[in-house]
Structure 1
């Protein structure tokens, strides 16, 4: 299929002539034969073909040689192979489904009792059951080891196709007068069922499963007619902090803070080995150089001056504008009552953007404000892992500046005290939780 090249040809040859047949009948048996089904085993060693004149032909997959022909007592209309068990279910014209083993190449079971033409058959995933749908609107289930009919039900519409789910939970059917797929639950998965043999008198009429959309649409229309007069006042909203003694995290993925902590390593690892090459730009009409041969003048004018001017303008505009990060940080209240605007904004930034904003804190006033914001958040017992990440990045980038300036010593000492206190609280809470969990686990 990928190359489009024909690889092999499997020739079923003439019909095997019985020893007692006459010359006239043998000539008739040698006429054109119709192939009604094809299958290949799981290891691609055998190719099986069934024909309308009632034969099953076995071929070697690699040599395309016909190895054996199995003659059936009736015409073979279709067949299906169960790859794991090596069983073939052949639908015959005499209203019998025959099960053939591809290893022994013999008919091992015959499923009969159909009142009309068999339209489709399927194996259960474990190859223990065989489900067949016939033209008399009946779906029958046979037990393959015993060959008995263990379940049958009649539907209002003829089932044209049946198949099992891979987990053996559902049976999917398609019916004659519907474009939908109906699912039937397998009771053997969740309840005790009897697998005794049944007769045609035990076949019950079963209603079709409800189609999705019809009943639900009627229910929605009824609900839409009901008008809500008053808004509910007892709606529960989860608070940002359940209890003042607890420690609340940001509820963001852990990989977000791990990426921020190791951003330099990630950038160094993802750094390209060579800078990208810009494509050569040329005008629509290229000037030619003097000479006998046609040569184009593709030299570009020097744009270094324009680039330097653009860089200066960019630096000037960047220095004059204040970032949203700095505006939110400046609005933080230093009396310990924060409105969470700054941390709500910084949670929306990417790790690279947070790293850039922390690096942009170049003045002592901005660093003092950031230290104060960290202290306030630690005291509020919220966003603990985010504060630890911001603190680690900030001290790693501006550590030398903080040590060299005496103006920030007071904020650093306050941050140290709050950090030690909160760390001890978190360790105590973790130890208490682990002890309670161990006690419950050992008890039960």
Structure 2
């Protein structure tokens, strides 16, 4: 049994603020500096595997100690003692003090050693049974129950002396003389009355406590942190000693010589040293987040199996392939593949024969590893036969390739052309090319199969923060720290366009399918840039501190961002609204959403584990409208600003504005080829009937014409439109009047405004102003623009004859049209962007 550094509940710190995510588990954490407990469940002990059997529910605070017996596990935190039956919490009681030193099960009670007392809790009720108070001259550091000593406990203290206590009577039985250094560990030997005493100065004393006799000592170069006796051999005795420098020493007690010495945990203290009963297998754990099994075969010793994670906090996480694994880069110079399905499949990517080289060269394996990874990208496919991962390393001019399916370092080193440090990397959509960006603003393209350098591009002399390649491998998008966005054609290196943001850039994410670029700015704002439309289509405001990571969802519907303000925010791309805010107890340094959208992986500052949250919307409805957050008003203000300037089209048929705009072409097309023929004479009785009406006469050609024609004449049309324009109240109705007419009648109405006097000239000016006002109001936009076009075309000769009279009105119309069209053009680009995005997904 191993422990979490802290209870899982601290990762639920803001769970009530999120409706979209629910905490699932932590992956990548194996063990920490808390000593592990080995529990035997009956039968012959045999360590068949190191697979996780179960994981407990959330706890209230940091775990201090744990121990087990049969199917029960007793967990001591800073505040409580918890009783677990396998993974189910059965019972909890409050601790007397948070100064817990050690604990173990003694008969039918749980013995807990504090720095100032020894307490016994009845099982399984955990009621206090007995307590032993020390004199307070020195703090207790460890304790052990000597075999065959009924109701006796041996306690070690910081000043080096030992005390034997009777637990029933709470009386001191004997006080042993002090050793030369602080007692750090006590362990009973297979031989009766013999106890191993580990000291802080690196000495292990074998002592006969019945005779109060020190038998002999074993000296080491570091403080003692673990002791275990081997129990599977009868003809010889061996003891394993763990040291605070990560070394384990195996002694032959008969000859008092060292059998083996090896580094079990690199540069960290050994927390646990425990032989499996009746087996030549030694279990060790340490502060490097690892648990290892070592098997002793005669004079040989080798690692049997191990489980490990990052020994230093993870800096960058990304779901790989279909989401069954997570690629994680840590501050310990390791690159790991963490399985979401089975913990035993989580491994560290091999960097070569580092262990054997370090032993031959007598140097630390840590010094032989590659520099910490600051960025990586991958191309995942099942039939790829070459390296498919590329990594950038801290302050290094060389990027390295990796083979994810083989879980090892690749064969190519990609060095920047100007030998400057690499700041960002990406891979092409086909997986054949790796693109690197440097500290000096240069971009280099390499063939991943051969490792050959193919192209070199230059740009602004600022670090390249992010790179992106479109799905068709036509262009590369480079984002520089000063806010410059360059789009370069991949085939010839020609710059398609350059765009300058208002603020510097901290993080970048590119969605190649939708060709959308997401940038996190220094003003804590997130902007979505449409590469095809070359414009910003979304702005997300809500974070109050620097943004640490941004990602797109696989389908592009969501944008997820993490910030130093201890929050993870989820935004909707379609509406631009914030869907959810998730508050955390520490800073999220990296996030990743699985391709199936079911899990969110988060790496937290100072934490070696990767924490997994489930997407609640995958299995039940989530009402986002119920979300409340202090930044919601700011988001609504951004949306209101986005709604300003929207153009309203008329409800008239589209054919009206189109036919009016092309009326000259329509008239030319419909012009008769032959002249009209005279109407043939009708029979006399029809002529008599028509003549009786008294309102028709024949012309010289025999055709009939109206004597009193009630159809609208030119003068009547002029009076209708011109009359409305002359009256002050009618000017507001002039546009609606024109809107009610057909295309031909509208054209005739406008052309009837013949300026024979200053009155008619004023009518044309008023009509231009009425149309300009409608354009400025963004109402009936397409009809207003078409009416203005018709007026200018019909009276072009008049306008050119009186330029001074029309100058002011036409200049106002031009400025108004330019400003409104600029807003409309922006909306067109946004619509094209979203359409292309939807089509690509």
If the TM-score is normalised by the length of the shorter chain, which range does it land in?
0.3 to 0.5
Q: Which structure dedicates a bigger proportion of its chain to strand?
A: 2
**Higher normalized contact order (CA 8 Å, seq sep 6+, divided by chain length):** 2
TM-score, scaled to structure 2? 0.21
Report the structure number with the largest CA radius of gyration. 2
